Amino acid sequence: MPDAGPSFTLVDVPGAVPLLGHLGAFRQHPLESLSSWWRRHGDALRFRLGQKTFYLFSHPDLAEEILVKQSDRFVKVYNPQKPHGLALVLGNGLVTSSGEVWKRHRRIIQPIFHRSRMAAMADRMTQVGDQRLSFWKDREGDTIDIAAEMMQLALEVISQTMFSTSMTQHTDRISHALQVSIKYAFDSFSNPLSLPLWVPTARNREFHSVMRFLDGLMYGLVAERRQSGVHHDDLLDLLLQARDEESGEGLSDRELRDEALTIFAAGHETTANALSWTWYLLATHPEAKARFHEEVDRVLQGRTPTADDLQHLPYTRAVFEESLRLYPPAPAVHRKATIDTTVGGLSLPEGAFVLVGTYNLHRHPDFWPQAEQFLPERWLDGERPRSRYAYMPFGAGPRTCVGLHFASVEGPLLLALIGRRYDLQLAQQSVEPYLMVTLRPKGGIRMTLQPRHVPLASAIAH
Ligand code: HEM
């Protein structure tokens, strides 16, 4: 089914060197490379990392072709028999699997994210949030790394909502282990020359060590639940109860480990980064911050927010949406062509690697007025981007983020919860975005925890 939409011209990114192609620039500045190549050379580009040829598409029509219309021809890039990149960490879980395994597991996991469960999930989220804020009490006026705080908060939210367990004692180790392993996975993706895992380099040994820790934690969670026999009606229960329709068999321990770790990793890093960037944007846009605080104070009157409050917090939701536009936690979506095909009039060979440039789409001047500006107002009054696929922080098509509703509740809810008590002020000059699977603030974000003068009701509740 070749497409018959508008045609594009493919441009080869200049500056390729023999053997390595564009590897040097990409490895040094991955996000900058993807965005500056697009700005200079256009919406349909070709570049090379070592022997691998990549296509970078930064137009909504091309995104729709790859992720929606031809989603059966553009699949995830991982092979369970020869894991590389993220699959080295997540195995064959929902993010990295394809075909029948993916379909079956998505059917098992999806119900936990149903809208009807979100109110109960929201209560858990705010309990976890309140608990975290109680640690902040002694640090008022101090400068903290808000990115590290948001990681810990989001990790605990996932642990409590999906696995009915607390990870507060392990959060530092888990954050560290995920950071080391995901960096390893990203390097192995972006550097085709990296040494194989069995070579006992310091880097490889560190990777094995953090993976042993994460494996122990995941297998431990599963074993503990099996032994206790207690039902929590959470994701872990759903995974343990799932049976194959034909064989009646349950998921293997390895499958359970892969899915649990996938939800841990995919479910906290993304939201944590989104929240961190939102605090940064608010801190650097005082008028938007004042309007956000005004809305939160007026609607909550000092109460802890609930899922129902979200409909009365349109500006807070708009702030979150606008932050996801400027700093999408997943700035590019990666696929591989299973067959020769045509996209936007361009021929792509079987095996071609495609990156859909979400970061670029979100800043495309043809689809966004004042594309580089932080303007939460653009989301009010139902104004939408000029093309549906110009905004896709959660992806598009069948592989759309399974946690979309969850994150859309969690983000604004935690913003309101924290914003009602604190005014977070930037305590450093600038923040540099840095791509490592997700889009992180390089080196964290130092912010001063300024307690707010809150309305009376909240002062009593505190
Ligand atoms: C702001 C927060 C989040 C953002 C921006 C985000 C973004 C994304 C994107 C772009 C994809 C699609 C990747 C692709 O097509 O290759 C995705 C997939 C996925 N996300 Fe999220 N995500 C967020 C939160 C969450 C949460 C809270 C969870 C779980 C609790 C989650 C779990 C997953 C899973 C399991 C997949 C794979 C789905 C599949 O392929 O069937 N995400 N996410």
pTM: 0.94
Whether 6 maps to a domain, the answer reads no
- Decide: helix, strand or coil at residue 262: helix
- pLDDT score of 7: 83
Q: What is the CATH number of the domain that holds 280?
A: 1.10.630.10
- pLDDT score of 37: 98
pLDDT lower than 70: segments of the chain: 1-6, 190-193, 454-462
> Cα(393)–Cα(329) distance, rounded to whole angstroms?
7
- pLDDT score of 461: 46
Query: Which residue range(s) make up the domain with 179?
Result: 11-461
Alpha carbon 389 to its chain centroid, in Å, reads 18
> Cα(183)–Cα(187) distance, rounded to whole angstroms?
6
- pLDDT score of 458: 47
**Neighbouring-strand partners of residue 143:** 448
Whether 369 maps to a domain, the answer reads yes
Q: Which of 401, 409, 413, 439 to mutate to test the pocket of ligand 1 (most atoms within 8 A of CB)?
A: 401
> Which numbered atom of ligand 1 lies nearest the CA of 330?
10
Distance 230 CA to ligand 1 centre (A): 29
Distance 105 CA to ligand 1 centre (A): 14
The DSSP code for 215 is H
Does the CB atom of residue 25 touch ligand 1 within 6 A? no
Distance 267 CA to ligand 1 centre (A): 7
Whether 191 maps to a domain, the answer reads yes
Distance 405 CA to ligand 1 centre (A): 10
Whether 249 maps to a domain, the answer reads yes
Does the CB atom of residue 270 touch ligand 1 within 6 A? yes
Give the count of domains, the chain. Answer: 1
- pLDDT score of 77: 86
- pLDDT score of 460: 41
Residues 6+ apart with CB under 8 A from 401: 266, 394, 395, 407
Does the CB atom of residue 277 touch ligand 1 within 6 A? no
Whether 3 maps to a domain, the answer reads no
Distance 17 CA to ligand 1 centre (A): 35
- For CA atoms 201, 207, 210, 212, give the dihedral sign: negative
- pLDDT score of 4: 56
- pLDDT score of 203: 85
Does the CB atom of residue 283 touch ligand 1 within 6 A? no
Does the CB atom of residue 271 touch ligand 1 within 6 A? yes
118, 243 Cβ separation under 8 angstroms? no
Whether 4 maps to a domain, the answer reads no
Whether 59 maps to a domain, the answer reads yes
Whether 2 maps to a domain, the answer reads no
> Which numbered atom of ligand 1 lies nearest the CA of 395?
10
